[in-house]
Amino acid sequence: MVEVSRHPNIEVLSYSEVTRVEGTVGDFRVSLTRKPRYIQEDICTGCATCVKYCPKESPDLFNRQMSPGKAVHVYFSQAIPLVAYIDENCLELTEGKCDICRGVCQNKAIDFRQTAETMELKVGTIILSAGTAPFDPAAVEEYGYGRMRNVVTSMDFERLLSSTGPHQGRILRASDRKHPRKLAWIQCVGSRRVTLLRGEAPPLPSSVAGRAKEDAAGMNREKEGALRSADPSDARRRASRFEGFRRYSREAPPLLSSVARRAEEDGAGSLTPGENSYCSAVCCAYTQKQVILTKEHEAEAECTVFHNDIRAMGKDFERYYQRAAQLPGVRFIRSYPVIAREVAESRNVVVRYATPDDGVKEEEFDMVVLSVGLKPPADHRTLAGTFGIELDAHGFCKTSPGSPMETTRPGIFVSGGWQGPIDIPESVFGASGAGAQSGEVLGYRRGKLARERIYPPEKDVAGEQPRIGVFVCHCGANISSVVNVPSTVEYARTLPNVVHAQQQLFSCANNAIKEIRELVAEKGLNRVVIAACSPRTLEALFRDTLREAGLNQYFCEMANIREQCSWVHSKQKEEATRKAKDIIRMSVARAAHLEPLQEFDLPVRKTTLVVGGGIAGMTCALSIARQGYPVHLVEKSRELGGMARRIHTTLEGMDVQAYVEDLIQSIYKNPLVHVSHGATIKSVSGYVGNFTTVVESEGRTREIKHGASIIAIGADVYRPTEYLYGKNESVVTHLELGEKIAKRDESVLHAKSVVMIQCVGCRNEDRNYCSRVCCSHAIKNALKLKEINPGMSVTILYRDMRTYGLKEDFYREAADKDVTFIQYDPADTPQVEAAVNEAGTPCVRVRVADPILGVRLELDADLLSLAAAVIPSSHTKEIAGLFKVTLSPDGFFKEAHVKLRPVEFAAAGVYLCGMAHYPKHIDETIKQAYGAAGRAMTLLAHDTVVASGSVCEVKERDCVSCGACMTACAYDAIEFRDTFGGKKARVNPILCKGDGLCCTKCPTGAIKMKHFTQEALLSQIGAAVAGG
């Protein structure tokens, strides 16, 4: 957020609404209404003095009304812009009889005469990032939310966990302010159409009724000790348990069209509460996070999660789930629970649930957390109307799988949660991707409106003694009401090297900035200490101020006397003043050791190398080329297309072959894309902006010089060794079954019974991850089979059905079409053997325990299809070595940050997309491919890349070439170089990120970190004690 607010080419218009959008792509006119804040944004410094004095309470919406707020307030402590606003509860606005805030604001920022302003913007493209709204369980009485004080939503709980939350990070019950010891989470609240059956045993989840072949007699022939009697009543019990689901299905068939119809009937447009059919895709993981955090807060807490399928389909999610489930006192119970009642005295909440082993039971909890799902933004119908875009049946933006960021109106793109329920990494893919797609439209006028700051030439102060200026900020009353500012100024004047010290009302205000600039010139200051707030927000501003004054920006030092002093010692004024002096003394000591550092510009080659010619690589290459930059696309096989060549349709019905063919044509037609087939990469050298890669292709070797590298090498399919695969021709993988279906293969057309086994080769010890795509893959094939022959018996043996997000609707459709779902236990996997069925034809016999009926079933299948795992490409290690990037524990490429930077590597200038990152669906691959193009463009669009000045440097004389520094560097920024004095370590300042870890490993102190040198830090520590 800070970066956005500081960016010279981003203008943030907060508290504004779009009222009208006219024009077409490349030439939109957008009308906005800027709501009155009653505070002048450019004058307010966010000091929050007004908040302190405001007499009118108003709900604190950020803390979900669990803590008191004021009518004038800053939305939250890290808000951008950090500016207060006055809400509709204000006494002055409602009754005209209070303007206390106006009196206490020393910067005169309050302005009650403000009115709503309208403005018009001319833009080329629009990106909608309206986010999501949490499901509100208050409307469904059964959840007890609002009625029972100790029932909270996961959003409430998120605030309770936060140290800036209502109880400073303590989890307290609303009823008695006590720590809950026994907590329950209820999953799928508002998602996957949870139906609560009051008073009756709740239905078991997800295994959906429907029968394959139940051969009780056959079962009894088995010698298995675990056999239970196949009492026909079990079948009835099973049927009745699904009554709720069934009835529901009949009332409202779960197909998209029917949901759409209902949505239209609602008039208001949104689905009625409790009726979101889709899976919200994020709740399983966030609940696990909340459980882990709760256990960290309180080790003794007992946490119970009532869940349907555990959908741990994201990267590293499976391990995360295991981590949560293995904590002591944590139970994961697969059951739809009902909130039965509140206990009058204790206000505890009684939950009723059923398990196959124990039947129905009741349990009391101190607190119940409802894991609420995600909905489209609250005003999505209005927004869609304003922007002239179409929505899907659920109210999310209508897009196509081939272009998941494009809305139905050309030039308007969507990113984030309004695309559908997605996790953070997919949001980032879409956001960068929407940026890239905008770039494709507007590339021809790139840079025309860009603004850059111009600075005067830098003064050389190398020979000068340190001349330090100290500016102590009052921050309105934030600092000065606690710290005696004049006394700290007096004190600062006595410190060594200080030639000027003064106080300022707000050092960050424009007039104060000007004053600093002038005093640098007037007093010949060559170091500046700002004693004010944390450097986090404003250091960039003060560094800029120094640059404007002609000083090197690294001569700026901030002493934090607000967050770390006045704010935490508001009742100890004298001690706080003493501490402020200590902090200033330390900063002055350090300032004397500061050195001018150069941020240097490196030229960027405008060419990109894309490794891998599948959907990911081609999409990415094409997007970059369409923005006007040349691309070399390197593919190892003789033709483009990759894995997608073997996929014919997606669950959503996309014609993959036509899409791929189209993509390949576009690649060949684009003059900026150069394709190498049958290629191998021989070597890679260089760094961001300046790579050199040697490629051997069709007998020729050539050297490609490029600025950015994109790795899109895809993944492989596991070749099962289980379940007779390769030994019996009736056993195939889902991919092979899909191909047979597309070819209308005889074996498919004549099959009477098809069984599918999920999770083959993953979610096990060898591969502790979920392949993400197989559940949807199975549903897609099952629906296709039912299309061919509605009477065909199709049975899916699964562990957790992971048809996350909007794909859930297809799962329901399959259940409705009598596809049978049987959950199996990984400790008791299905048994498969070749056999002859009742009709006398050869078949594959599958034996599996049915947890609902409590019996073992025997299924004779004409075809057995296996969900073979997606595994890392066999070339992964080789490519990782060439580009010096790292791998995750599962063998896929490791991104810079799993959530926040999922399309780039820690190594600058190298980007990642597609299955090489982790298994994913085609639409997700396309999103990430555009995302990688977007990230690469942020590099390519500049002529130079700026390297920070605060990097490490080796004093070669002292280097003993032990390599200790290299072992510490995660960025591969240090390498040996031959010198006259032998082999010496050398830091590549472009790759160095300035963490300084290497400095603590060097036994001779030869490597130093600029700006945080040992001398500077030691002097600062020394100055912590007066006279120290």
In this structure, what DSSP letter does residue 173 have?
A: -
Tell me the torsion sign for CA atoms 398, 316, 206, 859: positive
CA-CA-CA-CA torsion sign (371, 374, 375, 377): positive
Q: Which string of x and - marks every residue 526-565 that binds other proteins (by CB under 8 A)?
A: ----------x--------------------------x--
Residue 1001 interacts with other proteins (CB under 8 A)? yes
Bridge partners (DSSP) of residue 679 are 697
For other proteins, which is the closer residue by CB, 874 or 886? Answer: 886
Tokens linked to 252: 């409202």
Considering the complex, state which of residue 391 and residue 896 has its C-beta at the smaller distance from other proteins.
Answer: 896
The distance of closest approach from Cβ of residue 54 to other proteins in the complex, given in angstroms and rounded to an integer, is: 22
CB closer to other proteins out of 168 and 701:
168
Q: Which range, of 104-112, 495-503, 588-596, 1010-1018, touches other proteins by CB under 8 A?
A: 1010-1018
Alpha helices in 709-799 (DSSP H): 734-742, 746-749, 774-788
Q: Which of 285, 759, 896, 940 binds other proteins (CB under 8 A)?
A: 896
Closest residue by Cα to residue 29 from 117, 119, 122, 126: 122
> CB under 8 Å, gap of 24 or more: what pairs does 353-362 form?
353/202, 353/306, 354/201, 354/202, 354/204, 356/204, 356/851, 356/852, 356/854, 359/201, 360/201
| Residue 902 vs 996, nearer CB to other proteins | 996
CB of 582 to other proteins, least distance (A): 12
Q: Under rule CB under 8 A, which residues in 143-162 are in contact with other proteins?
A: 162
Residue of 139, 360, 788, 1021 that binds other proteins (CB under 8 A): 1021
57-96 residues near other proteins, rule: CB under 8 A: 77-78
Cis peptide before 55 (omega within 30 of 0): no
Judged by CB, which is closer to other proteins: 582, or 809? 582
Q: Which is nearer to other proteins, 112 or 976 (CB)?
A: 976
Rg (Cα) of the chain, in Å, rounded?
Answer: 32
**Among 160, 594, 999, 1007, which residue sits at the site for other proteins (rule: CB under 8 A)?**
999
Q: Specify the stretch interacting with other proteins by CB under 8 A; choose among 359-367, 423-431, 754-762, 1014-1022.
A: 1014-1022
Q: Which lies closer to other proteins via its Cβ, residue 904 or residue 923?
A: 904
Q: Is 1018 in the site for other proteins (CB under 8 A)?
A: yes
- Nearest CA-CA partner of 337 in 157, 149, 158, 189: 189
- Pick one of 283, 906, 959, 985: the residue that binds other proteins (CB under 8 A): 906
One residue of 232, 388, 889, 1022 binding other proteins per CB under 8 A: 1022
Q: Cα(first)–Cα(last) distance of the chain, in Å?
A: 39
Is the Cβ of residue 229 or residue 1000 nearer to other proteins in the bound state? Answer: 1000
- Which one, 403 or 768, has the nearer CB to other proteins? 768
Shortest distance, position 907 Cβ to other proteins, whole Å: 9
> Is 552 within 8 Å of 545 (Cβ atoms)?
no
Q: How far apart are CA 909 and CA 328, in angstroms?
A: 43
Residue 1004 CB, shortest distance to other proteins, in Å, is 6
Q: Provide the minimum distance between the beta carbon of 353 and other proteins in the complex, in angstroms, as a whole number.
A: 33
In the complex, minimum distance from the CB of residue 998 to other proteins, in angstroms, rounded to a whole number: 9
Which of 414/495 has CB closer to other proteins?
Answer: 495
835 is a site residue for other proteins (CB under 8 A): no
Question: Could you tell me the maximum CA-CA distance found in the chain, to the nearest angstrom?
Answer: 103
Q: How far apart are CA 229 and CA 616, in angstroms?
A: 52
Task: Identify which of residues 566 and 650 has a Cβ nearer to other proteins in the complex.
Answer: 566
Interstrand relation of 527-532 and 600-603 (parallel, antiparallel or unpaired):
unpaired
Of 530, 527, 535, nearest to 496 by C-alpha is 527
CA distances from 492 to 159, 470, 476, 478, 488 (A): 41, 7, 20, 20, 6
Number of residues in contact with other proteins, rule: CB under 8 A? 40
Between CA 470 and CA 525 the distance in angstroms is: 10
For other proteins, the closer of residues 811 and 905 by Cβ is 905
Measured from the CB of residue 527, what is the shortest distance to other proteins in angstroms?
Answer: 19
Shortest separation between residue 962's beta carbon and other proteins, angstroms: 8
Q: CA nearest 488: which of 597, 572, 561, 577?
A: 577
For residues 151 and 351, the answer to whether their CB atoms sit within 8 Å is no
The least distance separating other proteins from the CB of residue 163, rounded to whole angstroms, comes to 4
Task: Answer for the pair 1002, 960: CB distance below 8 angstroms, yes or no.
Answer: no
Instruction: Tell me the closest approach of the beta carbon of residue 1025 to other proteins, in angstroms.
Output: 5
Exposed/middle/buried for residue 198 (C-beta within 10 Å: 0-12, 13-18, 19+): exposed
Question: Applying CB under 8 A, does 1 fall inside the site for other proteins?
Answer: no
Side chain identity, residue 163 = S
Q: Select 267 or 1027, whichever has its Cβ closest to other proteins.
A: 1027
The 10 Å Cβ neighbour count of residue 884 is 16
Does residue 1003 belong to the site contacting other proteins (CB under 8 A)? yes
> How far is CA 507 from its chain centroid?
36
Taking CB under 8 A as the rule, does residue 874 contact other proteins? no
Q: Contact at 8 Å (CB) between 313 and 321?
A: no
Token pair belonging to 662: 């189209």
Distance CA 302, CA 789 (A): 50
| Among the residue ranges 539-547, 667-675, 764-772, 1013-1021, the one whose residues contact other proteins (CB under 8 A) | 1013-1021
Question: Closest separation between CB of residue 568 and other proteins, Å?
Answer: 5
3-class secondary structure, 10: coil
1017 binds other proteins (CB under 8 A): yes
Tell the smallest beta-carbon distance from residue 599 to other proteins (Å).
17
Q: Which of 120, 35, 147 is nearest to 86 (CA)?
A: 35
Considering the complex, state which of residue 660 and residue 990 has its C-beta at the smaller distance from other proteins: 990
Q: Which of positions 295-324 make contact with other proteins (CB under 8 A)?
A: none
Write out the binding residues for other proteins, residues 561-600 only, by CB under 8 A: 563, 568
Q: In whole angstroms, how close is the CB of 533 to other proteins at the nearest point? A: 12
State how far the Cα of 617 lies from the Cα of 612, in Å rounded to an integer: 5
Parallel/antiparallel/unpaired status of strands 952-954 and 182-189: unpaired
318-337 b/e (C-beta count within 10 Å ≥ 16 → b): bebbeebeebebbebebbbb
Query: In sequence order, what are the residues at sequence separation of 6 or more whose Cβ sits closer than 8 angstroms to the Cβ of residue 47?
Result: 107, 475, 476, 477, 478, 506
Instruction: Quote the crossing angle between the two packed helices 232-241 and 243-251, to the nearest 10°.
Output: 50
Minimum gap (Å) between residue 897 Cβ and other proteins: 8
* Shortest distance in whole angstroms from residue 825 CB to other proteins: 29
- Considering only residues 374, 405, 1002, 1007, which one is a binding residue for other proteins as defined by CB under 8 A? 1002
Contacts of other proteins in 959-998 (CB under 8 A): 964, 967-971, 993-997
Judged by CB, which is closer to other proteins: 375, or 569? 569
**CA 397 from centre of chain:** 19
Which range in 208-216, 612-620, 940-948, 1000-1008 contacts other proteins by CB under 8 A? 1000-1008
951 binds other proteins (CB under 8 A): no
Using DSSP's 3-state secondary structure scheme, residue 932 falls into helix
Given the rule CB under 8 A, which of 249-257, 518-526, 935-943, 1015-1023 is the region that contacts other proteins?
1015-1023
Query: Smallest gap, in angstroms, from Cβ of residue 415 to other proteins?
Result: 24
> Which positions from 161 through 190 interact with other proteins, judged by CB under 8 A?
162-164, 168-169
Query: Is there a cis peptide before residue 81, judged by omega within 30 degrees of 0?
Result: yes
Contacts with other proteins, residue ranges (CB under 8 A): 77-78, 162-164, 168-169, 536, 563, 568, 896, 906, 964, 967-971, 993-997, 999-1005, 1009, 1012, 1014, 1017-1018, 1021-1022, 1024-1025, 1028
